[in-house]
Amino acid sequence: MKSIKIVISILILLQSNYLLAESCEQTIESNDMLQFNLKEMAISSNCSKLTVILKHTGQLPVNIMGHNWVLTDTNDFMAVAQAGGAAGPAAGYLPEGDSRVIAASSMIGGGETTSVTFSTSGLAASGDYTFFCSFPGHYAIMKGSLKIID
């Protein structure tokens, strides 16, 4: 009986992971401790668009502990993150018009929520994508991978 419960639990878990992957909307949280609550996000290759909802669960204002969600090809991640610091706060710590930025949300402070919706047509299951926060220095810790699942 115990083994049947374990098998059922595994099947439920597998089903929930599949449903998550099929979603074309993902929610990620950030906080005042320089953390995203996810290190990996996965979406189905069937999604033509992805909406990422970023919730800042902290309390500090944007000028002290601002966070955003930025997506680049992993090969471009470090260069874009470093260029963001030079771009400054008025530009949301992102180089303006940089074609290496696949998508980016606005910069938010504690208690705020933002979202970004973008086309996934240029993303491939074989691709290597990194998401991160471009606030100066945050990218060293606040980063993860985006996977496209066939």
Give 85-131 as a DSSP string. Answer: HHH-GGGTTS-TT-TTEEEEPPPB-TT-EEEEEEE-TT--TT--EEE
Asked if the structure places residue 140 within a domain, the reply is: yes
How many separate domains does the chain show? 1
Asked if the structure places residue 13 within a domain, the reply is: no
Asked if the structure places residue 6 within a domain, the reply is: no
Question: Quick one: average pLDDT of 15-35?
Answer: 76
Mean pLDDT of all residues belonging to the chain? 89
Question: Quick one: average pLDDT of 94-113?
Answer: 97
In this prediction, residue 150 carries a pLDDT of: 86
pTM for this model (two decimals): 0.85
Asked if the structure places residue 135 within a domain, the reply is: yes
Is residue 14 pLDDT above 60, yes or no?
no
Is residue 11 pLDDT above 80, yes or no?
no
Asked if the structure places residue 18 within a domain, the reply is: no
Question: Quick one: average pLDDT of 58-65?
Answer: 97
In this prediction, residue 127 carries a pLDDT of: 95
Question: Quick one: average pLDDT of 27-34?
Answer: 98
* CATH code: domain of residue 34: 2.60.40.420
